[in-house]
Structure 1
Amino acid sequence: MSTTPTWREFAVTSILPMAAIAIVIGCGASGASDKDATATQTLTLGAYTTPREAYGRDILPAFAAQWRAKHGKAIAFEESYLGSGAQAAPLRAGSRADLVALSLEPDVELLAGKGLITGDWKQRAVGGMITNSVVVIGVRSGNPKKIVGWSDLARPGIKVLTPSPKTSGGAMWNAAAIFGAAFLGHVPNLPAGDSAVAEQFLREVLGNVAIMDKGGRESMLTFEQGVGDAIITYENEVLAAREAGQAIDYIIPDATLLIESPAAVVDAYADRHGTRALADAFLDYLTSPEAQRAFAKHGFRPVVPAIAAEYADKFPSVKQPFTIRDLGGWPNVVQQLFAPGAVFERASTPAVR
């Protein structure tokens, strides 16, 4: 990983303590003694905002029930949900999560760079990734602005929402998707392989941005309140909003970026807290069929091929998907797009609010 700091590292001016939500699951299981029921282990999870419902409603209760059935002990979860960059910053400063589930690889690497993650987290199943999604364009019901792809977001008068890369991993995915589509030659009338042209296209899109919220979830809430004509977001965010009754349609551009989101045990804290076995087991559970189906229920594309095949009808195919690796990998993308003074900072001024 490049040692070049990202713009967001310079933007964090205050570190907030982990706002934990503690829940205890499984203490009332039949057949357990009172002593067993009070032998509770606590696992602290630091996660980015968008999978909150998947964890809280399905994954945490199911894992706790499985753990209790196997070990006879209840689990208390302490949960913190913030934008991925905002989550990583306090963890680096001393907030002590046993396990992190973040939006993108560089935020995990920041923790590794501080010596908090000491193992090779990418050696886990599926390269350390637990969910997939794609960058999409959310639009008003019926698509009144007739938006069909990235180039439409640069049209005069189109009001766009996307979160800020200072705090949001989603914003980094969004910007990389727009820049990457242009650079790889997937935007009509733009030549491939020209970074200056791709930067100018990103500038035109960002020039239409009305509001940059702190995270993907906040950005979606702003859109639900009637602000903007289009929102650049994760597919799962749109699906969650529709599940909640919001009248939102979405467009998958012909070429868009595959979002690969990781999880890792924070070795320094898990060992200090004596939760290593529990943290490892929970991380393994996140790629189990049960957890992958729970993620799919909440709009995430499974990373396990066999489970992904079960949901082929739910998730539309992408004509020309590309990955961060097609753009040179995260170290290159961070340095080229998100370092101080790099592409995003140049292109977003004065778009950043």
Structure 2
Amino acid sequence: MKKLKSAAALAAVGVLALTGCSGGSSDAQAINVNAFSVMEAANEPVFADFEKTDAGKDVEFKTSYGASGDQSRAVAAGAAADVVHYSLETDITRLVDEGLVAKDWKDNATDGIATSSVVVLVVRKGNPLGITGWDDLIKPGVKIITPNPGSSGSARWNILAAWAHIVGNGGSEAEAKDFVTKLLGNTIALPGSGREATTAFTDGSGDVLLSYENEAILARQSGADIDYIVPDDTLLIQNPAAVTVDASDAAKSFLEFMTSPEAQADYAQSGFRPVIDGVDVGDVQGANDPADPFPTPAKLFTIDDTFGGWGEAADKFFGDGEDGNPLGIITELQQSTGKTGDE
């Protein structure tokens, strides 16, 4: 028994030691940041710059990253969070419905958006298949990787970008269904998160990865031997952030800092398009053109203009069929094609 108690004591010491490894002082105020997976690397310079401000000088960041929907559901179930930053607005509104985030969370200069990007097509170095746009993805034999819409916010942006390619250019919903069905037919893997999808692709799976522009840029910065194409028409990705109702003043200050010119410049260096004007972006390594890293597509669709906002799009496209509600269009297509993420 004494040996067991000693082992337990040593284990406790180990846990305490790990807890103290974040670098904060004993009287530092913790800010728990709960975010979607692709923010992990991008947040580090933003944290560092915030800690240089008066509001951040005694702050210690504690972080949790994962697939956007999974992260949001974890907070709803009780996971610690002061600042939440997700791929989709619906992952914030879930917390509003639970009383964990205030209803007026969007009442600020950026309408609650902290980071933005666009959907791009990531290909092998040199683009051996000659991919130029969406229509090339449904050609026979093209192997696609995209995250699973059931868990990943980036997957939902990706699929809606494909849908918008049809309806936004005058096509019908029936034609859009046919296009997405063919795209899913060419999909060989649906990993759980955007980050997992990028890892699968850079490890050698697939011919094309549907992804955020910032993920492609970060992968190239990290040495991945890939190229990426910004299609002539694509979808603007807007990632929301908010504080929980019990968040400290420091957490609220950090949320404001996230959309400051300084923080937006940091995020730009990780490949995110600024959500405010007047940001000194500078050269962005890993971009197709570092001096002009964020070209404007010929057609840039938005969730509000093309789909009526996430409040309408979420159920229409991704409804799970629970409580007598119909399946969403994409959910149904995933089931009919057998592309549910379990293959």
Other-structure match for 2:313: 333
Correspondence list, 1:165-244, <5 A: 165-185=149-169, 192-244=170-222
C-alpha distance in structure 2 between counterparts of 1:104 and 1:290, whole Å: 24
Query: What fraction of aligned residue pairs are identical, expressed as a percent?
Result: 39
C-alpha distance in structure 2 between counterparts of 1:222 and 1:129, whole Å: 28
C-alpha distance in structure 1 between counterparts of 2:150 and 2:102, whole Å: 26
Other-structure match for 2:148: 164
Q: Is the 8 A contact 2:269 2:281 kept in 1?
A: no
- Matched to 2:209, the amino acid is I
- Matched to 1:224, the amino acid is T
Other-structure match for 1:34: none
Q: Is the 8 A contact 1:23 1:77 kept in 2?
A: no
- Matched to 1:335, the amino acid is D
Structure 1 position 308, deviation (Å) = 6.9
C-alpha distance in structure 2 between counterparts of 1:200 and 1:328, whole Å: 21
Verify: 1:263 aligned to 2:251, yes or no: no
Aligned length: 308
Structure 1 position 310, deviation (Å) = 5.7
C-alpha distance in structure 2 between counterparts of 1:42 and 1:23, whole Å: 13
Higher relative contact order (CA 8 A, sep 6+): 1
Structure 1 position 51, deviation (Å) = 1.5
Verify: 1:344 aligned to 2:325, yes or no: no
Other-structure match for 2:293: 314
Q: Is the 8 A contact 1:104 1:260 kept in 2?
A: yes
Other-structure match for 2:63: 79
Gapped regions of structure 2 (runs ≥ 5):
1-17, 284-290, 321-326
Structure 1 position 96, deviation (Å) = 2.2
Structure 1 position 26, deviation (Å) = 6.1
C-alpha distance in structure 2 between counterparts of 1:305 and 1:290, whole Å: 12
C-alpha distance in structure 2 between counterparts of 1:157 and 1:287, whole Å: 43
C-alpha distance in structure 1 between counterparts of 2:19 and 2:134, whole Å: 38
- Matched to 1:158, the amino acid is V
Q: Deviations over 1:153-202 (max 9, x none)?
A: 111100000000111100010111111111112xxxxxx25112111111
Correspondence list, 1:45-56, <5 A: 45-56=33-44
**Aligned counterpart for 1:90 among listed residues 74, 78, 89:** 74
Q: Cα gap change, 1:52/1:22 in structure 2, threshold over 3 Å: closer, same or farther?
A: farther
Other-structure match for 1:61: 48
Q: Deviations over 1:3-59 (max 9, x none)?
A: xxxxxxxxxxxxxxxxx98764565xxxxxxxxxx3211110100011211212x01
Other-structure match for 2:250: 278
Q: Is the 8 A contact 1:103 1:170 kept in 2?
A: yes
Other-structure match for 1:9: none
User: When the two structures are superposed, what TM-score results if normalisation uses the length of structure 2?
Assistant: 0.86
C-alpha distance in structure 1 between counterparts of 2:254 and 2:21, whole Å: 16
Please, what is the CA RMSD of the aligned residues?
1.8
Q: Deviations over 1:115-146 (max 9, x none)?
A: 11124111122111111100000000111111
Correspondence list, 1:119-130, <5 A: 119-130=103-114
